[in-house]
Amino acid sequence: MDQHCNITKPRIPIMADAGSVEALLQLVEKADGGVDSLDVASRIGVDHQVIVGAVKSLQSLGDVISAEQRSSKHWELTEEGTELAEQGSHEARVFSSIPPEGLPQSELMKLSFGKIGFSKAMSNKWIRVDKSHEGGPRIFTSVESIQDQVREKLLLVQRGAALEEKDKNELKKRKLLAEVTVKSYWITRGSSFSTTLTKQETELTAEMIATGSWKDRKFKPYNFEAMGVAPDCGHLHPLMKVRTQFRQIFLEMGFSEMPTNNFIESSFWNFDSLFQPQQHPARDQHDTFFLSDPALAHDFPQDYLERVKRVHSEGGYGSQGYKYDWKMEEAQKNILRTHTTAVSARMLYKLAQQEKFTPVKYFSIDRVFRNETLDATHLAEFHQIEGVVADYGLTLGDLMGVLHQFFTKLGITKLRFKPAYNPYTEPSMEVFSYHEGLKKWVEVGNSGVFRPEMLLPMGLPEDVSVIAWGLSLERPTMIKYGINNIRELVGHKVNLQMVYDSPICRLDS
Amino acid sequence: MPTVGVKRDLLFNALGRTYTDEEFDELCFEFGLELDEITSEKEIISREQGDSKASGASDVILYKIDVPANRYDLLCLEGLVRGLQVFKNKLEAPRYTRVSPTTGEVQRLIITKETAAVRPHAVAAVLRNITFTKERYDSFIELQEKLHQNICRKRSLVAIGTHDLDTISGPFTYTARPPGDISFKPLNQTKEYTATQLMSLYKTDSHLRHYLHIIEDKPVYPIIYDSNGVVLSMPPIINGDHSKISLTTKNVFIECTATDLTKVRTEEDVMLSFLIFFSGFFCKELAYRKEKLSGEFINRKVGISEPTEKIAQLLTRMCLLSQPTGAGDEIEVEIPPTRPDVIHACDIMEDAAVAYGFNNIIRTTPRTYTVANQFPINKLTELLRQDLAAAGFTEALNFALCSQEDIADKLCKKISDTRAVHISNPKTAEFQVARTTLLPGLLKTVAANRKMPLPLKLFEISDVVLKDESKDVGARNSRRFCAVYYNKSPGFEVIHGLLDRTMQLLEVKPAREQGYHIQAADDSTFFPGRCAEIFVHGKSVGRLGVLHPDVIGRFELSMPCSALEMDIEPFL
């Protein structure tokens, strides 16, 4: 249904001519079994359309009358037929045009009815032609008088009488008669029938309220089938609505938000500080966006940098290290951060610089960048959701417990964990949830315990464990809002109608 | 994550029992693998090349299994079976030893200094007394290809050559020569070519052309000869035809060459992968390492309480042969050379947890007490977004990366004036720079939604990136608010009204000194005389105005448009 129909069509139709409504009601009152609207029109002497208008107007007032639409077929004179009914058939007019002394054929043919009338009168043998008459062929009557049966039949039809099938067909052939379908209403009294109608108000007005006149008025019913008028308003983007909910969940769980407003990161904080070796594939040109300007980062915490270098190249803190030639130039390379874990590393380093360690719970939801091949579900940038907990003696069981609480808030309760590999967490676990729709386990996130080679060079106490997990914001949003192509959700090719129409976001329902 | 394709029936045969697909999926999951796809050669060809090409192809069921990136020891059927059998307690972890050849000399590979200019590193190994079956041969070739594609980084880092040792004689020489001086009959060709001719021959080869760039521009090409001057290979492109391996090969000579010293560990991993394939002789020392750790450490980190003996058993099932030393809860763990990923006690702890079963660990809640804080700029952003939507504007979400043209030419600005950071390796123009303004994104959103009823009222609050020498990385984010009004008339008053409303929300009054005001400004993005600068407490925070017709045209728009963009960080 057109949602704007209330703007273009008023809920209550305009009242029809009051006189014909009244006359109609009088007739309906008198007729016991009901009346046909065509009959009403001819009895009142108005056009049928006026009665149709009156019927519709009365229908809108409730159950005053009941009107059932019906259609009937009947024979009607064509324009030519009407002319003939008035003036006589062509052949009759030919007959009466001919004086006793006859008429030259050429004269007869000049008359409007001459040509058709001549041949019909000839075949009726009402007239004859004298072809050898001096001055050209001449027409004479051949009978005394005639009976114009064609006209008589047409007049019968006009009066509504029936004709024989043979006659009807002949007149139809001469295009004097036509069969027409007429739509009409069969009108009977309704349950609240009355011949006197009170005028119905369209809307309540301030004046009626002030004077109290509304108490004595009748109001026309509304059409509740129509849609309302769309409010004039702005809309929030669905991905941001989901982000708001995730923020809310973290805040409810006591997690503080990390400052992730730094898209440009050095390879040092993005990779090296996380104990990700410099030859790791993620650090390749085809996975990461590097910067040409500003190409390099400067100003690192020097003693920490030395400890990072040592743990990569020689080991330490109980580790064998990766045993390779760690290069400062690699660490200095500026990139668009590939994960928000770079910010977690900065935050954990900052935490380690506190005089006394205090437990923390951190979260962030922000953009990360990958120089990847793009498809329907992958873009070069997406939002990463990340949670981090640092405290003394955290276990793998604690990580799974926190994940269980987090995902329960998303409405996901059935979780299982798969061993995985990640260069900076050990153990690493992929989080799977059972998807009731797909009837299978689907990956919903990644998690792990940060490696000692990452935490100890920062200066965190040895018995402090840091557990962390991450997932993308886009995937749950696409599932939530039923979007298959990520470009319809993120970026300028977004479908604004989708934004306008998207419901509020409740992740747990 | 590399994927290994194995024939299901061969796999089950080697595992000594059959599984349903669900059971095998479950086993993989527990062990940290993923049964990615169940398919057949026929199905793969039919999907990639159409049904007609697939007729006659094998419909033997294939399992595609995802292997974690650190487990090169599982990259072939043989390795997978070994790992799973030990995990299921059906097999003891194999012990690899270096053996000397019973007859003949220890083989040597001599590396000359010329290789320094192109590909300076190489290692070699010999596998002796092996027997290929058709399946084993195919699996061997596939393993080599898997290694090339994954850790060898498409041969750019490491290239592997395998040869029939009985067709060649050591010692072998790894050197580098000008391409014109190299001539040999390459694998599966009928005549000799010079290296120069080979490079043009393979220009059109669908497979090999991808590797040519690795040495193409070098003055000398790497080459390996035997003691009689027979060419074994020209790494990383092609082997010689002379020494090619076949089903009847008994002794295999393996050489690995590499470009970068920092990647040498990768070469070792490659060798180890072959070692898993067949036990055999290995040129490098096979280093087994012993670590000692306490059962309490594992219990504490995992969150379980298992007796020391049980923990040792768990580790042994992960190919880490372990036993209690008897001194308290101390456990001695032997790390085989096939597990170079085990470098810290935490790696051993993980294996214990995997063997215990992640999903058998009791989930607990840490008692960490913390009070949550929002990041102030994000808190302000969240609050503002709500009220801007309430003011009738719809939120857009655009990319932080864009083309130079978007932030410069299309806005009638010069790229040198933008303070933009530039990306050195964009795959397309869409990723040349990080945006310095939110306006182009909003205008592109309007252009993509021209069919929508007018007016279009859009806003975005997000970060742009600007060069800033005071930061360690030389750049910083700046949180911006941008809005556009697109209609049949410019609607400056609408955008101006939105500014007034925003200031009201931010509790800034209209006033010249202790408030905000706007004042005429020149800006090439805007229509002359229709641009004003926004001042808050006397400081400029942004601009608003009617866009220049050239800007409207360059974004493929046709109606007038007014816009507003300002910093919101000053309102913190």
Q: Report the residue from A234, A291, A421 with minimal CB separation from B422.
A: A291
Q: Once rounded to an integer, what is the mean pLDDT over residues B238-247?
A: 89
B287 Cα distance to chain centroid:
29
By CA distance, what is A490's nearest residue in B? B397
Same domain, A290 and A365: yes
Q: Check CB contact under 8 Å for A278 and B398.
A: no
Q: What is the pLDDT of residue B273?
A: 58
Note whether residue A62 is domain-resident: yes
Tokens of B165: 């040792």
CB-CB: which of B263, B382, B473 is closest to A264? B473
pLDDT of residue B211: 85
Q: What is the CA radius of gyration of chain B?
A: 33
Pairing of strands B401-402, B289-294: unpaired
Closest to B424 (Cβ–Cβ): which among A256, A265, A290?
Answer: A290
Q: Is residue B101 part of a domain?
A: no
Q: Looking at the partner chain, which of B359, B368, B473 has a beta carbon nearest the beta carbon of A266?
A: B473
Clarify whether residues A157 and A89 are in a common domain. yes
Count structural domains, chain A: 3
| B396 & B350 share domain | no
Q: Which residue has the higher pLDDT, A468 or B142?
A: A468
Residues B456 and B354 grouped into a single domain: no
**Is A256 within 8 Å of B373 when comparing Cβ atoms?**
yes
Instruction: Flag whether A13 is in a domain.
Output: no
Which CATH number goes with the domain that contains B396? 3.30.930.10
- Clarify whether residues B272 and B302 are in a common domain: no
Judgement on whether residues A304 and A448 belong to the same structural domain of the protein: yes
In a domain, A217, yes or no: no
With respect to residue A371, please indicate whether it lies within any of the assigned structural domains. Answer: yes
CATH code, domain with A88:
1.10.10.2330
Question: CATH number, domain at A67?
Answer: 3.30.1370.240
Please indicate, yes or no, whether residues A458 and A403 belong to a single structural domain of this protein.
Answer: yes
CB nearest to A325's CB, from B262, B354, B448: B262
Total tally of structural domains belonging to chain B: 4
Give residue B288's pLDDT band: very low, low, confident or very high (50, 70, 90).
confident
Scanning every residue of chain A, which has its alpha carbon at the shortest distance from the alpha carbon of B387? A234
Residues B294, B461: Cα–Cα separation, whole Å: 53
Residue A322 sits at the chain B interface (C-beta within 8 Å): yes
Count CB atoms within 10 A of the CB of residue B377: 19
What would the mean pLDDT of A322-327 be, rounded to a whole number? 88
Mean pLDDT (whole number) for A378-407: 95
Residue B204 falls within a domain, yes or no?
A: yes
Q: Write the residue in B68, B343, B385 that is nearest to A319 by C-beta.
A: B343
Among A261, A285, A416, select the one facing B479 at the smallest CB separation: A261
Q: Is A236 on the interface with B (CB under 8 A)?
A: yes
pTM score, two decimals?
A: 0.76
Reply yes or no on whether the pLDDT at B130 is more than 70: yes
- Could you identify the residue written with the tokens 């009070």? B371
Mutate to test the interface with B, among A255, A264, A392, A481 (most CBs of B within 10 A): A264
* Section B218-233 average pLDDT: 90
The Cα B1–Cα A154 span in angstroms is 94
Same-domain pairing of A83 and A69 = no
Count of CB contacts below 8 A, A vs B? 293
The two beta strands, B252-258 and B121-127, are antiparallel
**CB contacts, 8 Å: B452 with chain A:** 496-497
Residue type, B88: K
Q: What is the ipTM score, two decimals?
A: 0.82
Cα distance from B229 to chain A (closest Cα, Å)?
A: 34
Residue B392 pLDDT level (bands cut at 50, 70, 90): very high
Q: Are residues A468 and A494 in the same domain?
A: yes
Please state the rounded mean pLDDT for residues A238-256: 96
Maximum average pLDDT range among A124-128, A324-328, A477-481: A324-328
Residue where a domain terminates, one of B37, B56, B88 = B88
pLDDT band at A8; cut points 50, 70, 90: very low
Using DSSP bridges, classify how beta strands A35-36 and A177-189 pair: parallel, antiparallel or unpaired: antiparallel
Angle between helices B77-87 and B134-149 (to 10 degrees): 90
Predicted local distance difference test score (pLDDT) of residue B272: 57
- Regarding whether B346 and B393 lie in a shared domain, the answer is no
Same domain, A332 and A455: yes
Domain-located, residue B474: yes
Reported confidence tier of residue A349, pLDDT bands at 50, 70, 90? very high
Tokens of B572: 């913190």
- Is the pLDDT reported for residue A448 higher than 60? yes
Confidence at residue B281, expressed as pLDDT on a 0 to 100 scale: 32
Rounded to whole angstroms, the Cα distance separating B523 from B529 reads 9
The distance of B434 to chain A (nearest Cα, Å) reads 9
Contact A235 B447 (CB under 8 A): no
**In this structure, is residue A227 part of a structural domain?**
no
CA distance A18 to chain B (A): 42
Q: Are residues A122 and A268 in the same domain?
A: no
Quick: pLDDT tens for B308-329. 999 999 999 888 899 999 999 9
**B264 and B293 within one domain:** no
Whether B561 and B467 map to the same domain: the answer is: yes
Pair B345, B411 in one domain: no
Residue A372 confidence (pLDDT): 81
A5 inside domain: no
**B71 and B117 together in one domain:** no
Which residues of A fall within a CB distance of 8 Å from B373? 256-257
pLDDT at position B275 is 55
* Segments of A11-104 assigned E as strands: 35-36, 65-77, 103-104
B304 with B442, same domain: the answer is: no
Burial class (CB in 10 A: 0-12, 13-18, 19+), A200: middle
For the stretch B332-376, pLDDT in tens is 999 887 777 888 999 999 999 999 999 999 999 999 999 999 999
Separation CA B326–CA B322 (nearest Å): 12
Task: State the average pLDDT over residues A330-348.
Answer: 96
Q: Mean pLDDT across chain A, nearest whole number?
A: 87
* B270 and B322 together in one domain: no
Q: Among B260, B292, B344, B371, which would you mutate to test the A interface (most chain A Cβ atoms within 10 Å of its Cβ)?
A: B344
Contact (CB<8Å) A247/B374: yes
Domain contains B551: yes
pLDDT surpasses 80 at B277: no
Note whether residue B371 is domain-resident: no
Q: B22 CA to chain A: closest CA distance, Å?
A: 11
Question: Which alpha helices (H) appear in A333-413, and where do they start and end?
Answer: 341-352, 396-409
Please give the Cα distance from A251 to A69 (Å, whole number). 65
pLDDT tier for residue B151 given thresholds of 50, 70 and 90 = low
Q: Which of B332, B358, B384 is the last residue of a domain?
A: B358
Q: Give how far A5 is from chain B: nearest CA, Å.
A: 17
pLDDT at B262 over 60: no
Q: How far apart are CA B62 and CA A16, in angstroms?
A: 79
A402/B contact by beta carbon, under 8 A: yes
A231 within a domain of the structure (yes/no): no
CB contact under 8 A, A234 and B389: yes
For B150-175, give one letter per residue: b (16+ CB within 10 A) or e: bbbbebbbbbbbbbbbebbebebbbb
Question: Touching check for A479 and chain B: CB below 8 Å?
Answer: no
Distance CA A215, CA A218 (A): 8
Q: With respect to residue B99, please indicate whether it lies within any of the assigned structural domains.
A: no
The helix/strand/coil state of A320 is coil
The answer to whether B424 contacts A396, with C-beta atoms less than 8 Å apart, is: no
Do B272 and B294 lie in a common domain? no
- When CB atoms are compared, the residue of A290, A441, A490 closest to B397 is A490
Largest CA distance in chain B: 98
Confidence label for A1 from pLDDT (cuts 50, 70 and 90)? very low
**Residues within 8 A of B (CB atoms), A 112-171 only:** none
Q: Does A49 touch chain B (CB under 8 A)?
A: no
pLDDT above 50 for B284: no
- Taking CB atoms and an 8 Å limit, are A391 and B378 in contact across chains? no
> Is position A262 within any domain?
yes
Please check whether residue A238 is in contact with residue A99, taking contact to mean a CB–CB distance below 8 angstroms: no
Residues of A in contact with B423 (CB under 8 A): 289-292, 336
Distance CA B149, CA B151 (A): 7
The shortest C-alpha distance from A375 to chain B (Å) reads: 14
Residues A45 and A124 in one domain: no
Does one domain contain both A418 and A434?
Answer: yes
Q: Say whether residue A327 is in contact with chain B using an 8 A CB cutoff.
A: yes
Tell me if A293 and B421 make a contact (CB, 8 A cut-off).
yes
What are the tens digits of pLDDT across the range B467-520?
999 999 999 999 999 999 999 999 999 999 999 999 999 999 999 889 999 999
The single-letter code of the amino acid at B20 is T
| A274 in contact with chain B, both atoms CB, cutoff 8 A | no
Q: Are residues B38 and B116 in the same domain?
A: no
Do B396 and A490 make contact, defined as CB atoms within 8 angstroms?
A: no
Domain at B315, CATH number: 3.30.56.10
Of A259, A260, A297, the CB nearest to B474: A297
The CATH number covering residue A273 comes to: 3.30.930.10
Contacts of B340 in chain A (CB under 8 A): none
Q: Vertex B114, ends B109 and B120: CA angle to 5°?
A: 65
> A420 and A329, same structural domain?
yes
Instruction: Provide the 10 A C-beta neighbour count for residue A484.
Output: 9
**CB atoms A265 and B473 under 8 Å:** yes
A265 and A403 assigned to the same domain:
yes
Chain B's closest residue to A496, CA to CA, is B449
| B367 belongs to a structural domain | no
CA distance B440 to chain A (A): 9
* Residue A65 domain boundaries: 18-74+186-206
**What residue numbers bound the domain in which B269 lies?**
109-279
Chain A closest-CA separation from residue B378 CA (Å)? 9
